[in-house]
A and B are shown apart, each in its own frame.
Chain A
């Protein structure tokens, strides 16, 4: 029996599993794979009446346009990447620190209640968060200006926003982000700590030599998964929380919010398509690169 025959026989034997896999296969195909094919419009002059497939090719015209209007492009790419770096580095450090802190705290009931309260922000949509942020930073009625007797005009000063958005992102995500690491901490063999204690290791030594090393695989997986999103952002944060305010674009415009605006304004589709293709390819290459590096160092932690 040759390989192909064996394969078909095996697939027939598992026909029930093929049927079970079919719904997800179809949904992924329609809602993820077909849009990938749609990226071809980066090389086309999009005509609404002709659709994606019917529009004529125009070679690299769109990319020339992209280079010609490089100020917008460079600004939003810079913002996207810088926010990604800050959110990922700060976020990971805080996720891990919080998970260890909760794990180390001896009054377990109190830790549980506090953790419950810390996770709540992740369940509040950015469409709602923007009203909360407004309550804190509006010029006349905001808590911050009232508390300190200041008169900061946050909504018209771009330079404040990297800090504001970082604080909002941390508030939103760290409580929940620590849960994944807590599930790893719960799995550490307690005898390791007991043995270390007998050997005279203090709390800090235990954290640095037992706790953190056991978190490394999870940190690696989470970082690898996020690398592919370096060109993507939490659109709600940049579109809703900033109220899509044009005065703030120099520090708050990211690729995803630019694309969203372009769709609403029905404009610049060629430029957007070129940008999107660039966004997707950079994400893919960085993910493959990062995964390759990890596979060299620690094959078990690689994604694939």
Chain B
């Protein structure tokens, strides 16, 4: 009887919006501001007049707006365009290669009857437990594989990730009925066709969520770029940010840089507003694209058991 009443009035609507809810909303709002104000500051500072920052410091309500910082970024011109190209290229290639390989692997190790899957499972988990570390990777990738200053070194080390394979495998196990694949096989579809025409389309929510997380990892990767990339035409965006910081440090720490050199470099000394404008240009795309993928996050990112 009680159950029936509840069906008529779902619990969500029955609760009234009291003091508790108001307090909860206020706390959530405060935390949202804590998260968002620094992001907002980047946008504001990028369009703030340099003199205003020097005089009053950074501020959310600047004394004077200006396009100078943004123009300075556009003056990088060619290097910025090249770096954008590199970052977009490795992101697209990495996500595509990674999703393709990982979803095939996840599919293969979800076949219950496949004897080799136990071994493959263990093989997949071990890198999560034990790793060779940065130094040994660095030496092997550079002197053994000869991958220094290549696009491959930016793509391959990040493209397979144990956690992502587990997420994909969980999705296959939970949301793609085994009967569908068996039915396809009875209808005469081969293994590859079953995977590409039945499983892969159904895997879309998970591919979207994992793919977006991978894209972020590629877009934001500064460490591999800093370790391995030396030539200007292969520099991704994040390395531009790191280089700005390096040149600021160089000017601050070197008192013996002659005044004439400093004057000559005047035009290229990174200033507060132009630095923030660079940050905005580098970070902007991923932040703008992300809301379109957010709906897949809760649905596509479920982590199941590691055991398989």
A→B interface (CB under 8 Å):
6-7, 10-11, 14, 16-18, 20-21, 23-25, 27-28, 30-39, 41, 48, 51-52, 98, 101-102, 104-107, 110-111, 114, 116-128, 130-132, 135-136, 138, 140-143, 145-146, 171, 175, 179-180, 182-183, 186, 190, 193-194, 197-198, 203, 218, 221, 225, 228, 235-236, 240, 243, 256, 259-260, 262-263, 269, 272-273, 276-277, 279-280, 283-284, 287-288, 302-304
Contact = CB atoms under 8 A, between A and B. Distances in A.
A35 B28 contact: no
Nearest to B220: A125
A123 B165 contact: no
B216 interface: yes
A222 to B, nearest CB: 8
A215 to B, nearest CB: 13
A276 B143 contact: no
Contacts of A24: 101-102, 104-105, 124, 160, 165
Nearest to A125: B220
Contact of A118 (B31, B135, B301): B31
A25 B160 CA distance: 10
Contact of A132 (B38, B143, B222, B290): B38
A52 B223 contact: no
Tell me the interface secondary structure of chain B in the complex: helix
Interface string B88-118: 0000000000001110110111010111100
Given A135-B45, A141-B272, A203 B20 contact: yes
Contacts of B28: 101-102, 105, 111, 114
Given A105-B21, A135-B45, A303 B306 contact: yes
Contacts of B156: 27, 30-31
Contacts of B272: 135, 141
Given A36-B132, A120-B39, A143 B58 contact: yes
A27 B155 CA distance: 11
Contact of A276 (B134, B245, B305): B134
B32 A132 contact: no
Interface of B: 2-3, 6, 11-12, 15, 17, 20-21, 24-25, 27-29, 31-32, 34-36, 38-39, 41-42, 45, 53-54, 56-59, 100-102, 104-105, 107-109, 111, 113-116, 120, 123-141, 143-145, 156-157, 159-160, 163, 165, 190-192, 195, 216, 219-223, 227, 238, 241-242, 245, 249, 272, 275-276, 279, 282-283, 286-287, 290-291, 294, 297-299, 301-303, 305-307
Contacts of A280: 130-133
Given A131-B275, A145-B57, A240-B222, A263 B134 contact: yes
B111 A14 contact: yes
Nearest to A104: B24
A259 B133 contact: yes
Contacts of B107: 17, 20
Given A10-B113, A35-B140, A228 B129 contact: yes
Nearest 10 CB-CB pairings of A with B: A35-B132, A38-B136, A16-B191, A125-B220, A276-B133, A24-B105, A20-B104, A17-B108, A141-B57, A32-B127
Contacts of B141: 31
Contacts of A279: 133
A179 B294 CA distance: 10
Given A17-B111, A18-B108, A107-B25, A284 B129 contact: yes
Given A121-B38, A123-B290, A182-B298, A276 B120 contact: no
A101 B23 CA distance: 11
A130 B136 contact: no
A27 B162 CA distance: 12
Given A11-B115, A135-B45, A303-B307, A236 B223 contact: yes
